[in-house]
């Protein structure tokens, strides 16, 4: 269990609990909320499928970043995914604090040809998407539900880090070109979440994703170009890739809320993330 200060007397500071604190989003949230009284809990500190650990001091705000994120694995173990994503959200909500739940573009079926906004009907194609949609319902109307897209950061398991590794090892990689979304840098998402909370924006669903959009193949080519890797991208279809879980073909997120945070373009996020990794 990681604390930024041992003194339980907060002198008016907000106590913020982060679940899944060792994940890529958890790291970014810890940076964005660093001047709060942080309690950053990893999976080892709190398996969210279980009630909160005994002795945990009541937080003012819970940033619930712990989640089952293995999209294909959820097809093989939907109950396991639900235990983490739905049951874990219920346990986080049971703390009785203000709650931010992180959700996904995979709650949509991808049949639109224009960006999804908050009022669009959800229709997930996969067990993972269904578990996240059910988690949104469990979080309740008093939570901020932040839907984002294709998250990546300098740590953890994500598409960017995988492409950097493969691009250094191979002359060519095959990447799907029929799925379109908004690659979102967690270093841009986390401060936007802070903006929502600090401004006490209305509770409910918010779409917060990088500006611009691209396919996975576009993203891979941009990664190789920015990282000066000579690897080529061979564009393939989702059918050719043959993953167990279906993905939405079009999952671009935009907000219809006039006061929604606007994130930088995904290319700026890519450059910022690579610069952070270089440091």
Residue 110 sits in a domain whose CATH number is 3.40.50.720
Q: Rounded to whole angstroms, how far apart are CA atoms 148 and 248?
A: 14
Tens digit of each residue's pLDDT (9 = 90 or more) over 81-137: 999 999 999 999 999 999 999 999 999 999 999 999 999 999 999 999 999 999 999
Q: Rounded to whole angstroms, how far apart are CA atoms 219 and 160?
A: 8
Tens digit of each residue's pLDDT (9 = 90 or more) over 182-226: 999 999 999 999 999 999 999 999 999 999 999 999 999 999 999
Structural element, H or E, at residue 234: strand 232-236
Q: Given pLDDT bands bounded at 50, 70 and 90, which one contains residue 7? A: very low
Structural element, H or E, at residue 61: strand 61-64
For the chain, the domain total comes to 1
Is 128 considered catalytic here? yes
Mean pLDDT of 65-90: 96
Q: Given pLDDT bands bounded at 50, 70 and 90, which one contains residue 8? A: very low
Note the residue count of the chain. 279
Q: In this structure, how many other beta carbons lie within 10 angstroms of the beta carbon of residue 8?
A: 9
Q: Given pLDDT bands bounded at 50, 70 and 90, which one contains residue 279? A: confident
pLDDT value for 12: 65
Give bridge partners of residue 37 from the DSSP assignment.
15
Instruction: Answer whether residue 77 shows pLDDT above 50.
Output: yes
The CA-atom distances, in angstroms, between 54 and each of 10, 45, 51, 136 are: 20, 11, 9, 26
- Indicate which residue of 106, 128, 152, 185 is catalytic: 128
Give bridge partners of residue 40 from the DSSP assignment.
2, 18
Which of 64-68, 183-187, 224-228, 241-245 shows the lowest mean pLDDT across its residues?
A: 241-245
Q: Given pLDDT bands bounded at 50, 70 and 90, which one contains residue 45? A: very high
Contact criterion met (CB below 8 Å) for 205 and 265: no
pTM (two decimals) = 0.92
Q: Which domain holds residue 259?
A: 2-278
Tens digit of each residue's pLDDT (9 = 90 or more) over 129-184: 999 999 999 999 999 999 999 999 999 899 999 999 999 999 999 999 999 999 99
């Amino acid at each position: 269990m990681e604390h930024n200060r041992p003194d339980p007397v907060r002198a008016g500071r907000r106590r913020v609990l982060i679940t899944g604190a060792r994940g890529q989003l958890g790291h970014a949230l810890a940076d964005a909320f660093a001047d709060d009284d942080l309690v950053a809990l990893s999976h080892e500190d709190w398996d969210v499928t279980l009630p909160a650990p005994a002795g945990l001091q009541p937080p003012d705000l819970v940033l619930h970043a712990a989640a089952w994120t293995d999209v294909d694995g959820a097809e093989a173990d939907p109950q396991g995914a639900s235990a983490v994503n739905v049951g874990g959200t219920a346990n986080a909500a049971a703390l009785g604090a203000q709650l931010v739940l992180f959700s996904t573009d995979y709650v949509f079926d991808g049949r639109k040809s224009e960006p999804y906004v908050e009022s669009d009907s959800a229709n997930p194609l996969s067990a993972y998407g269904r578990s996240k949609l059910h988690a949104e319902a469990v979080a309740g109307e008093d939570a901020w539900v932040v839907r984002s897209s294709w998250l990546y950061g300098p740590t953890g398991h994500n598409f960017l880090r995988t492409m950097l590794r493969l691009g250094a090892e191979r002359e060519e990689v095959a990447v799907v070109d029929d799925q379109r979304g908004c690659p979102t840098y967690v270093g841009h998402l986390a401060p936007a979440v802070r903006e929502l909370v600090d401004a006490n924006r209305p509770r409910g669903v918010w779409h917060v994703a990088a500006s611009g959009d691209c396919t996975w193949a576009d993203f891979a080519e941009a990664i190789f170009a920015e990282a000066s890797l000579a690897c080529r991208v061979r564009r393939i279809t989702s059918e050719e890739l043959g993953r167990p879980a279906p993905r939405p073909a079009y999952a671009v997120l935009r907000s219809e809320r006039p006061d929604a945070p606007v994130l930088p373009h995904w290319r700026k996020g890519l450059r910022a993330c690579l610069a952070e990794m270089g440091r």
